[in-house]
Amino acid sequence: MHKKIFITGTGTDVGKTYVTGLILKKLKESGIRAAYYKAAMSGNVRRTDGSLIPGDAVWVKNISGIEQPIEEMCPYVYETAVSPHLAARIEGEQVSLSKVLEGFHDVMENYDYVTMEGSGGILCPIRMEGEEFWLEDIIRACGMGCLLVADAGLGVINGVGLTAAYLREQGIPLKGIIFNHYRPADVMQEDNIKICERITGVKVVACVKDGDTDLDISIEALCSLYDEEENE
């Protein structure tokens, strides 16, 4: 059994990587062979030998405890902290969709649950020269539904509503919403949950407080959000 899901966000720096790490930690602690994947990673620092450290992958591996080698996690790693299409242009290595898919399918073959993280929000250009494609093209090619990570505070209704509408337009299923930077008993945030569920028709499946080290969702509910790989 091989299952998969894509983690997107309402924008940059809403906590996708942090939440993804908690997701993989819960899977790992439940005895599931879980893996992480990201097509292109920007804004990374260099080791003393000049090689780039894939920061998001290292963070997820450290917080989750998964055994997957870092080298399997991301085929394209850039130093410049901009959208992947621009980082690729600046640094001279364009993203190949075929290479991204090859790496994804290799990971799918070797692990039971694969959690793939996006770059920025859903509307993200990956390559704009030659073989032009966007983030949603990768999601469709991999046959995945999405979990949406959003900041629980002011402005979340607009961000969640627009992202959900775009996903529907692109034919990509939205499986659930996770609120980050959640403050329990905050009147506005509690109302945000209700409004976001109403306008999207999708449940807020978990809320993550600052400093949380575990995801407050049952393993059964979490696993139900993943799509099974076709043609198994």
Q: Which residues pair with 46 in a beta bridge?
A: 52
Angstrom distance (rounded) from CA 99 to CA 95 = 8
Active-site residue set: 38
With b for 16 or more beta-carbon neighbours within 10 A and e for fewer, the 121-151 pattern comes to: bbebbbbbeeeebbbbebbeebebbbbbbbb
- For residues 126, 16, 39, 167, the Cα torsion angle rounded to the nearest 10 degrees is -60
Angstrom distance (rounded) from CA 27 to CA 226 = 12
The two tokens of residue 215 are 């995801």
Rg for the chain (alpha carbons), in Å? Answer: 17
- For residues 184, 185, 190, 193, the Cα torsion angle rounded to the nearest 10 degrees is 20
What's the N-to-C CA distance of the chain in angstroms? 8
Mind giving me the DSSP string for 56-121? HHHHHHHHH-----GGGT-SEE-SSSS-HHHHHHHHT-PPPHHHHHHHHHHHHHH-SEEEEE-SSS
